[in-house]
């Protein structure tokens, strides 16, 4: 995922996870809560430079079981959070009151 090597912000880590892919991103992800969760749960990997990125990609290519396990963990994170938009919309509607 792009954006993790500069200060402009990490791009969405949720998109590859929702597609059932393992997620890799740079070290600048402090403002991306989902990235931290994916790291903690094994569905994401932080890489700190070109060599680490190449090593991770090579590792996933050479060990498909490892890549697939990481992908399953990433998708499991997404699956557990399904319905969040609907729950948020209901909460906002409750705050605004009837007819809004």
Query: What is the tens place of the pLDDT at every residue in 49-61?
Result: 999 999 999 999 9
For residue 83, name the pLDDT band (cuts at 50, 70, 90): confident
Q: Are strands 44-46 and 23-25 parallel, antiparallel or unpaired?
A: parallel
Distance (Å, rounded) from C-alpha 64 to C-alpha 66? Answer: 5
What's 99's DSSP letter?
T
Q: Which tokens hold the place of 28? A: 């600048």
Predicted pLDDT of residue 100: 64
């Amino acid at each position: 995922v792009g954006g993790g090597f500069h200060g402009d912000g990490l791009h969405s880590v949720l998109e590859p996870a929702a597609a059932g892919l393992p997620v890799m991103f740079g070290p600048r992800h402090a403002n991306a809560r989902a990235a931290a969760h994916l790291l903690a749960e094994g569905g994401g990997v932080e890489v700190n430079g070109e060599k680490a990125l190449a090593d991770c990609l090579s590792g996933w290519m050479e060990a498909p079981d490892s890549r697939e396990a990481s992908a399953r963990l990433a998708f499991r994170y997404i699956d557990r959070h399904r319905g969040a938009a609907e729950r948020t919309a209901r909460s906002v509607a409750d705050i605004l009151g009837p007819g809004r």
